[in-house]
Chains A and B, each alone.
Chain A
Amino acid sequence: MLNDNLTSDFLYDNLPGGFISYQPGGKILRVNETLSKWLCLSIEEIYQLNFRSILNKASGLYYSMVTDPLLNLQSTVNEISLTFKSSQGEFDALLNAVSYKDDQGNLFLINATVQKITDRKSYELALLLEKKHADEERRKFEFLSNTVPNQIWNIALDGECIYINKKVRDYFGEQPMSFYTDFGGIAAADRERCQSTWQRCLETGKRFEEEVRLIGVSKKEEWFFICIEPYLNRQGYIESWFGSGTNIHKQKTLQIANYSSFKLSLSSAKKTLDENRQLFINMALNHSHMVRKPLANALGLLQLLEDEDLPETSKHLFNMLQLSIQELDEMIKIASNPLRTQTN
C-alpha cells in the first residue's frame, strides 16, 4: 500500500535514473532530482540552461548533427551515448528519448531518460581502445598489402572474398565480388584446373599453388604464380585463406621460349645424327664392297694354297693366316649386317 508521501512527484524525482523534458530548441521544461544531483545543479539552475549546454562540446555537436535531426524524423532514439557536464566534472550516460508532434506535425516536446554509465563506460572505453588498436593494425596491414608488388586477398571459408588489395583492383578494375569467387579473371584454358585444385584445397585444407594465366583490364593473358594458404586461428581451425599472386610472366615466357629452343636444338641434333648415320651407312656400304673385294681375293688365294703341298713349317703360318682372314670375314659380315637392315 502506498504511503501518502509517495506521490508521483516524489517517485519521479527519486527514480534511479535521470528524467528530463525539453523543447526542440533545447529549453528545459522539467527535470528530476536524480539528474539534478548528477549535474550538481539545483533544478532552478537547470531550468536556466539549454539542453545542449548540459552536454560537453563533442556530445553537443553529435546531438545537434545526428540525434536532433533523428528526433525530427522519427519518434524515438535509443541508447545514444553522450557525456554530460557537471560542476564536478563530466559523466557518461545513455539517452533514450521520445519526441512528440502537434496536429500540424510540428515537434513540440522531447521526453528523455538519462542513465549514468560511468563504470560501464570505462569498460566500453577499454573496448574502444582495443577496437582502435585493431583498426590501426588493419590499416597497417592494408598499407603493407598495397605496398608490396603482389596481389593480395583474403577469402572466407565459404569462398567469399573478404579483402582484396589495391594491386588486385588495379589489375582487374572495378569488378563485383562474384567475379573473384567465380574465377572470372583466370584464362579459360586454366580455369577448370584451378577450380578443381581449389575445391580440393577447400576439402583438404592444403595449400593451393598453381601457375595460371590471368586476364586483367589490359585484356592480355599474363602468367601469375598463385599461392593460397589456409589461415589457422588459435584453436587450430582454418579461419580464412590468404592468397597472393606474383607476376611471373617474364620468367614464364622466357622459360617457355627456352624450352622451345631446347626442343628445337634436340630436333636439330637428332636430324644431324640421322644425317650422319645415313652418311655412315652409305660410306659403310660403299666401303664394305671395297673391303670385301680384296677379302674375297684373299679367301680365294687361301683356297688355292690349301690345295698346295706346303712344307710343314709353312702350314703353321698358313693356318694362322686362314684364321685371321676368316676372323676378318666374320667381322665384316657383322659390321655390314645392320647396315643392310637400315638400307632395307
Chain B
Amino acid sequence: MKTTVTFRNNVKIMGEGTETLLFGHGFGCDQNTWRSVIPAFLKEYKIVVFDYVGAGGSDLTAYDDERYSSLDGYANDIIDICTELQLHDVTFIGHSVSSMIGVLAIKMEPQFFKKIVFIGPSPMYMNEEGYKGGIDAGDLDDLLDVMDSNYLGWSRMVAPLIMGNEEKPDLAEALTASFCATDPEISKKFARVTFMSDNRKDLSSLTIPSLTIQCEEDFLTSREVAEYIQQHTANNTLIMLETKGHCPHLSDPKGVVSAMKGFI
C-alpha cells in the first residue's frame, strides 16, 4: 500500500544491499537522471530514488508555495522520506542544488545520515563581492524568460512522451518519458529558490564525511566553487572529472561511479 510520502515523492526502492544510497536529483530533472549510475550499486546497496514535489512523477497537488519557498521545504521532503522508510546510516547523493538540500537535511536531522556526495554543487549561485557564484541577478530573470519561452516547447516535448511512445516500449525508455516533466510554473519557482539561495554558512554545520565531484568545465558551477566548499567544510574531499558539463552522472557515469565507490 502506498503511503503518503512514498506517493507524494514518487519514491522507488531497489537493490539487494542493506546500506542505503539516497539519490536527490537537481533542478530541471527528476529521478531518471540517475539511471546510468544506479546499476553499478544495485548488488551491494539499497537504492532509494525520489522526485521532489513538483518534479517528475511527484504528486503535484502536494506543492505548497509556502513550504517550497526555500530549500528547507525540499530538505523536509528528504527527512520525510527517511522517516517513513525508517532509513539510517544513509549516504545521500545530491546533484546540483540537491547537494545543499542534502546539507540542510543533515543539519535538521543528522541521525539519519552517514555520508554525503555532492555532484556539481554550489552553496550560492549568485555573484557577490569576494565570491564568484557564476550568475548575476539579471541572468536569473533572463533564465526565467527562457523557461517561459520554452513553456510550449516543454509541453510539446513532454506530453507525447508521457502518453507513451510505441517505438520505445521498454521500461528504461518509459522512464525517460517523465524526465524533466516538471510543471513549468513550479519549475520557475524552483529555479528562483535555487538561484536565490545562499547556503555558505550551512557548510560549517556539516561534520560527516563529504565528497565533491566536479567537472572541469561546468557552465553552472566551477572548480573555484568546489574549492570554496572544500575550504569551508570539514572532512570534504574534492574529485575533479575531466568530463565537461553540469551532469557528469549522465555524460561520464563511469567517472562518477568510480569516484563514489572510492568514497562510500
Contact of A69 among B147, B150, B153, B180 (CB under 8 A): B180
Q: Which of B44-52, B84-92, B135-143 contacts A (4 or more CB under 8 A)?
A: B135-143
Inter-subunit contact B250/A72 (CB<8 Å): yes
Point out the residues of chain A lying under 8 angstroms from B98, CB to CB.
none
Q: What CA separation (Å) do A72 and B147 show in the bound complex?
A: 20
- Measured in the bound complex, the distance between the Cα atoms of B160 and A77 in whole Å is 12
Whole-angstrom distance between the Cβ of B151 and the nearest chain A Cβ: 8
Provided the pairs A69-B29, A73-B179 are in contact, do residues A58 and B146 lie with their beta carbons within 8 angstroms?
yes
Q: Within 8 Å of chain B (Cβ to Cβ): is A70?
A: yes
Q: A68-B247, A74-B176, A107-B251 are in contact. Are A25 and B28 (CB under 8 A)?
A: no
Q: 1/0 contact trace for A52-94 toward B, CB 8 Å?
A: 1000111111111110111011100111111100000000000
In contact, A61 and B243 (Cβ under 8 angstroms): no
Q: Number of contacts between A and B (CB, 8 Å)?
A: 100
Give CA–CA (A119, B150) in the complex, Å.
17
Q: Does B236 belong to the interface (CB within 8 Å)? A: no
By DSSP majority rule, is chain B's interface helix, strand, loop, or mixed? mixed
A131 at the interface (CB under 8 A from B): yes
Interface string of B151-180 (1 = CB under 8 A from A): 001001100010000000000000010011
Q: How far is the CA of A59 from the CA of B32 in the complex (A)?
A: 23
Min CB distance A155 to B, Å, is: 18
Asked if B149 and A65 sit within 8 Å, CB to CB, the answer is no
* CA of A57 to CA of B247, assembled, Å: 18
- A69 and B250 form a contact (CB under 8 A): yes
A59–B204 Cα distance when bound, in Å, is 33
In the bound complex, do residue B251 and residue A24 qualify as a contact, i.e. CB atoms below 8 Å apart? Answer: yes
Is the CB of B224 closer than 8 A to any CB of chain A? no
Contact of B153 among A25, A59, A80 (CB under 8 A): A80
Nearest CB in chain B: distance from A96 CB, A: 10
Cβ-defined contact, A78 with B246, below 8 A? no
B128 at interface by CB-CB < 8 Å: no
**Which of A25, A58, A81 is close to B243, meaning CB atoms less than 8 Å apart?**
A25
Residues of A within 8 A of B157 (CB): 70, 77-78
Query: Measured between alpha carbons, how far is A73 from B165 in the docked complex, in Å?
Result: 14
Answer yes or no: B27 CB below 8 A from chain A CBs. Answer: yes
Is the beta-carbon distance between B146 and A73 smaller than 8 angstroms? no
Contacts of A59 in B (CB 8 A): 146
**B80 beta carbon closer than 8 Å to chain A:** no
Task: State in angstroms the CA–CA spacing of A28 and B27 once bound together.
Answer: 26
Question: Is residue B148 contacting chain A, with contact meaning CB distance below 8 A?
Answer: yes
Question: Do A68 and B245 touch across chains, with their CB atoms under 8 A apart?
Answer: yes
Q: Which residues of B contact A77 (CB under 8 A)?
A: 157
Is A128 an interface residue, CB under 8 A from the partner? yes
Q: Could you tell me the distance between the alpha carbons of A69 and B33 in the complex, rounded to whole angstroms? A: 8
A239 to B6, CA, bound (A): 38
Residue A26 CB within 8 A of the other chain: yes
B244 at the interface (CB under 8 A from A): yes
Question: When chains A and B are docked, how far (Å) is the Cα of A225 from the Cα of B186?
Answer: 35
Beta-carbon contact of B245 and A24 below 8 Å: yes
A124 within 8 A of B: yes
Known: A64-B219, A73-B176. A25 touches B139 (CB 8 A): no
A111 on the B face (CB < 8 A) = no
**Is A34 in the interface zone, CB < 8 Å from B?**
no
Complex contact A81–B149 (CB within 8 A): yes
Q: Does B145 contact A (CB under 8 A)?
A: yes
Closest to B144 in A: A58
* CB under 8 Å from chain A, chain B span 79-138: 96, 135
- B149 neighbours in A (Cβ, 8 Å): 81, 124, 128
With the chains together, A81 CA to B33 CA distance in Å? 22
Q: Name the one of A24, A61, A72, A78 contacting B139, with C-beta atoms under 8 angstroms.
A: A61
Choose among A57, A68, A73, A124 the residue with the greatest number of B CB atoms under 10 Å from its CB: A73
Residues of B within 8 A of A61 (CB): 135, 139, 143, 146, 219-220
- Chain A contacts for B179, CB-based, 8 A: 69-70, 73-74
Is A322 at the interface (CB under 8 A from chain B)? no
Judge whether A58 and B143 touch: CB under 8 Å: yes
Asked if B135 contacts A25 (CB within 8 A), the reply is no
A26 surroundings in chain B (CB, below 8 A): 217, 244-245
A50 within 8 A of B: yes
Q: A11-34, CB under 8 A of B: which get 1 and which 0?
A: 000000000000011100000000
A26 to B218, CA, bound (A): 11
Determine the chain B residues whose CB is within 8 A of the CB of A56 once the complex forms. Answer: 142
C-alpha spacing A25/B247, complex, angstroms: 10
Q: Do the beta carbons of B219 and A60 come within 8 Å of each other?
A: yes
Q: A69-B28, A79-B156 are in contact. Are A58 and B176 (CB under 8 A)?
A: no
| Contact B245 A65, beta carbon cutoff 8 Å | no
Q: How far is the CB of B120 from chain A (nearest CB, A)?
A: 10
Roughly how many angstroms separate A257 CA and B194 CA in the complex, as a whole number? 57
List which B224-264 residues lie within 8 A (CB) of chain A: 243-247, 250-251
Q: 7 A-B Cβ contacts within 8 A?
A: A26-B244, A61-B143, A61-B146, A62-B150, A64-B218, A72-B250, A107-B251
Q: Which 10 A-B pairs have the closest CB atoms?
A: A58-B142, A25-B244, A81-B149, A72-B250, A65-B28, A64-B219, A58-B143, A62-B146, A64-B246, A66-B28
19 additional A-B residue pairs with CB within 8 Å, beyond A68-B246, A131-B148: A24-B245, A25-B251, A26-B217, A57-B139, A57-B142, A58-B142, A63-B219, A65-B26, A66-B28, A69-B29, A69-B33, A72-B247, A72-B250, A73-B179, A74-B161, A74-B176, A81-B153, A128-B145, A132-B148
